[in-house]
Amino acid sequence: MAAGASTDQNIQNVRVKGVLSDDLTYIRQSFHHCSDLVYRTFSFPSGHQGALVFMDGLVDDTRIEEVILEPLKTGILTQYERLNLSDSDLRSLLELSLNEIQADQVKTLDMMSEIAGSICLGDTALFMQGLPMVCLISLRKSEHRAVEEPGTEMAIRGPRDGFVENLRTNTTLLRRRLPTPDLKMETMQVGRLSKTQVVIAYLDSVVMPGLTEEIKKRISRIDIDAVLDSHYIEELITDSALSIFPLILNTERPDKVTAAILEGRAAILVDNTPFALIAPTVVADSIQTREDYYQNYLVATALRWLRIWLHFSALVFPSIYVALSTYHQEMIPTNLLLSIASSREEVPFPAIVEALLMEAAFEGLREAGIRLPRAVGQAVSIVGALVIGQAAVQAGIVSATLVIVVSFTGIASFVFPLYNQGMAVRVLRFPMIVMAGFLGLYGIFLGLLILLIHLCKLRSFGVPYLSPLAPLHGRDLKDSLIRIPLWGAKYRPAFIQRANSRRMKGDLRPEPAAKK
């Protein structure tokens, strides 16, 4: 890291001299120990010498000969020779003929630091003897995977494309959905060393007022060596630095990003990661999936309520079990109580220890399932079923009832459309169990109250996290707890955008044609 910084210092403010050997020495010095840098010197019959400097692998070297060297040799230099021009004319001629080079992008630079940066990004630098500037020809080639279905957000119905690591591919996916100049994509660069491209995408006419300025302001204050994933950005620009809840949405789905942009939100795409960020976000986003809009509205509404219920279960179900079975036995119906009591008869631990133990084991199983190589993944499920299931119960270490509770909670914690939202709830259920174990139902409600106060305090880019429930906004409830049919959702959410909020005409409800 220190070496890199000093290299930066060395080549700062140094300009290209036009003496080939000196310039190349500079480059060699700054790219000391960089074995992937390729120097390719050449000399033409005319006596002109030059060098091409590029990064191996980033440049499509099959095209170098054809696109750069060939035109130089046959075109420009032959002309120069024939007309017998001076060195100063060479420069203007070269500039003129840059257009003839069939590359994506061609530019000239004379600052050594900028040239080095450009080489690292995959440009090919053309040094010419006697020319105090460098031509940078973009013949980039990058290794990236094809667009495929996102692994974290599956859908039965709906587009199957997902973002990839390549930023340009990702912006294309958005542009194809919204082919309008209204879709703006502002680029910023973050990371001293990584120089990661960050694109802020939004619709100019509907974006929440002040949002893009705020995002740009927050991103511009980031000063970090490298950005490896969009979460770096998320964590550095979030409103509440210590909260467990994600205040910026992330997604791999271009359709989700497009929908958010259409609502007046802004998306932040980061190079080298398939996860785009969406801001602002509200708590209702955690019960919605894009698929809600690709299927019948009643089904979607039912699924949303199911998700709400399961969210809540994932948070408090084990703690309710602990509270009821250690403090409030009178609240359990007699027969159920007796069944629970009979299953707990042999168990040596108090309910709270039992619950924490099994929940932790379950989380461990989940984590192991993610981290393990696929080849041994099956072993985890077999061992896990034994540990959490039959054997533990038969050995009398845990009660059968608790196994049911843990399994149900496990299922409930997997319905979260957002993985990181799910993680927040998954983690929070442990303090809830502790609260329930020490204070009973009172503890659960105390915990829920603290959580509610915390949620009320949260803001995502100035938007209250509990919108549109608190502050209540009636019109927006139509698309938060329920999903009304598309022809009824005439407006954009008011907590994001009030001015240009109409999405469609009012009379779009399909009806059979009137009888004649």
Partner 1 sequence: MRSITAVLLVTLMLSMLLTSCWSEQELDEIAIVTATGLDRMDNGKLRLSLLIAIPRLFGTGSAQGGGESRLESSAGWVVSEEGDSIMDITRILQKKLPREIFYSQSRVIIIGKKLATEGVQPVLDFFERYRQSQLISYVAVSKTTALDILNFQPKFEKLGSEVLKQEMRQNLTPSVQFIDFLNTLMSEGIEPIVPTIEFMPSQYGEGSKGKIDNIAITGLALFHKDKMVAEMDEQNGRGILWVINKIHKGVITIQVEGEERPGNVSTELERVTVDRETEIRNGKVHITLKINLTENVYENTSDIDMDKVQNVNLVQKKVEDAIKKRIYDNCKLVQGKYNTDVYGFGQSVYRRYPKQWHKEYKERWDELFPQIQLDVKIKGRIIRSGLTNNVIKPEE
* By CB under 8 A, residue 143 contacts partner 1: no
* The binder of partner 1 chosen from 179, 335, 512, 516 (CB under 8 A): 335
Helix (H) or strand (E) holding 371: helix 351-371
- Closest CB to partner 1 among 72 and 347? 347
Interface with partner 1 includes 342 (CB under 8 A)?
Answer: yes
Please report the sign of the dihedral spanned by the C-alpha atoms of residue 414, residue 415, residue 420, residue 422. Answer: negative
The dihedral through the CA atoms of 154, 155, 161, 162 has a sign that is negative
In angstroms, what is the minimal distance from the CB of 351 to partner 1? 6
What's the one-letter identity of residue 30? S
CA quadruple 346, 350, 356, 360: dihedral sign: negative
**Long-range contact set of residues 382-386: C-beta below 8 Å, sequence gap at least 24:** none
Among 189, 295, 301, 339, the residue binding partner 1 under the rule CB under 8 A is: 339
Of 330, 375, 382, 510, the one binding partner 1 (CB under 8 A) is: 330
Strand partners, 128: 50
293 near partner 1, judged by CB under 8 A: no
Q: Which of 343, 409, 467, 480 binds partner 1 (CB under 8 A)?
A: 343
Q: Of 239, 242, 187, 244, nearest to 216 (Cα)?
A: 187
3-state secondary structure of 511: coil
Is the CB of 294 or the CB of 349 nearer to partner 1?
349
Instruction: Identify which of 305, 257, 299, 291 has the alpha carbon closest to the alpha carbon of residue 277.
Output: 257
How many C-beta atoms surround the C-beta of residue 368 within 10 A?
16
Q: Which is nearer to partner 1, 172 or 329 (CB)?
A: 329
Residue 315: closest CA among 150, 427, 180, 434: 427
Residue 189 bridge partners (DSSP): 197
Instruction: Map residues 442-471 to x or -, x wherever contact with partner 1 holds by CB under 8 A.
Output: -x--x-------------------------
What minimum distance in Å lies between the beta carbon of 345 and partner 1?
5
Shortest separation between residue 127's beta carbon and partner 1, angstroms: 58
Phi, psi (deg, nearest 5) at residue 105 = -150, 135
Count of residues near partner 1 by CB under 8 A: 24
Q: Quick check: 220 binds partner 1 (CB under 8 A)?
A: no
Question: Per CB under 8 A, does 240 bind partner 1?
Answer: no
For the CB of residue 328, give the shortest distance to partner 1 in the complex, in Å: 9
CB 321 → partner 1: shortest distance, Å? Answer: 11
Residues 410 and 318 sit within 8 Å (Cβ to Cβ): no
Binds partner 1 (CB under 8 A): choice among 140, 344, 429, 483: 344
Pick between residue 74 and residue 390 the one whose CB is nearest to partner 1: 390
Q: How far is the CB of 378 from partner 1 (least distance, A)?
A: 30
**Nearer of residues 84 and 334 to partner 1, judged by Cβ:** 334
Rounded to an integer, what distance in angstroms lies between the CA atom of residue 48 and that of residue 41? 11
Q: Cβ–Cβ contacts within 10 Å for residue 121, how many?
A: 13
380 binds partner 1 (CB under 8 A): no
Nearer to partner 1, 39 or 445 (CB): 445
Q: Does 402 bind partner 1 (CB under 8 A)?
A: no
Supply the minimum distance, in Å, between the C-beta of residue 152 and partner 1.
Answer: 35
Q: Name which of 127 and 327 has its Cβ closer to partner 1.
A: 327
Nearer to partner 1, 51 or 392 (CB): 392
325 counts as binding partner 1 under rule CB under 8 A: yes
Packed helices 419-457 and 351-371: angle between N→C axes, nearest 10 degrees: 130
35 binds partner 1 (CB under 8 A): no
Number of residues written out for the chain: 516
For residue 416, state whether it binds partner 1 (rule: CB under 8 A): no
Q: Is 345 in the site for partner 1 (CB under 8 A)?
A: yes
* Residue 242 binding partner 1, by CB under 8 A: no
Based on CB atoms, which residue is closest to partner 1, 41 or 342?
342
Helix (H) or strand (E) holding 445: helix 419-457
Site mask for partner 1 (CB under 8 A), range 305-324, x = bound: --------------------
Mention every residue, 6+ apart, whose C-beta is less than 8 A from residue 356: 430, 433, 434
- The angle at the Cα of 349, spanning 345 to 350, to the nearest 5 degrees, equals 90
Region of 26-34, 140-148, 346-354, 495-503 interacting with partner 1 (CB under 8 A) = 346-354
Residue 255, token pair as written in the block: 């359709």
Main-chain dihedrals φ then ψ at residue 110, nearest 5 degrees? -130, 0
Q: For residue 245, give both structure tokens.
A: 């809840």
The closest of 400, 261, 274 to 336, measured between CA atoms, is 400
Q: How far is the CB of 293 from partner 1 (least distance, A)?
A: 41
Residues that bind partner 1 (CB under 8 A): 325-327, 329-330, 334-335, 337-345, 347, 350-351, 438-440, 443, 446
